[in-house]
Amino acid sequence: MDLIFIRELKVSTIVGDYPRERTNPQPITFDIELAIPGDAVYQSDKLVGTVNYAAVCAYVQRECDTHHFKLLERMADHLARGIIAEFKTPYVKLSVAKLGIIKGVKLVGVVVERRAA
């Protein structure tokens, strides 16, 4: 399986269960891997044969602007399933992490993997 990857996409959004996390946006970071759908891109050398990674980044930003989750697990699941549906990729691995939320810890987060049905 051939993959496109996006590393360290930074977004500021409201995410968390604690009251202090529900009022102010906080920085989070994403790492995303998604399967290239088919092999048309290798013959055509055109963007229409693959997934536009800039569009994936814009999708993640837009979803974080409009949906505020309490748990990273729910956020990651929502985004991974949305990427599969929106971009017709057969596979997504998505990591999402809060930055510096726990003293002495750089990142805490979750990783989900989803496949198209």
Token readout for 105 is 């810890």
Contact assessment for residue 107 and residue 29, using Cβ atoms and an 8 Å cutoff = yes
Mean pLDDT of 25-39: 95
pLDDT at 20: 86
Q: Please state, in angstroms and as integers, the Cα–Cα distance from residue 114 to each residue in 3, 23, 91, following that order.
A: 14, 30, 6
Q: Please state, in angstroms and as integers, the Cα–Cα distance from residue 22 to each residue in 4, 14, 66, 75, 100, following that order.
A: 33, 6, 14, 14, 16
Mean pLDDT of 87-112: 95
Beta-carbon neighbour count of residue 88 at 10 Å? 11
Q: What is the pLDDT of residues 98-107, one digit of tens each?
A: 998 889 999 9
pLDDT at 76 > cutoff 90: yes
pLDDT at 30: 98
Mean pLDDT of 58-80: 97
Structural domains in the chain, sorted by start: 3-115 (3.30.1130.10)
User: In terms of pTM, does the model score above 0.85?
Assistant: yes
pLDDT at 10: 98
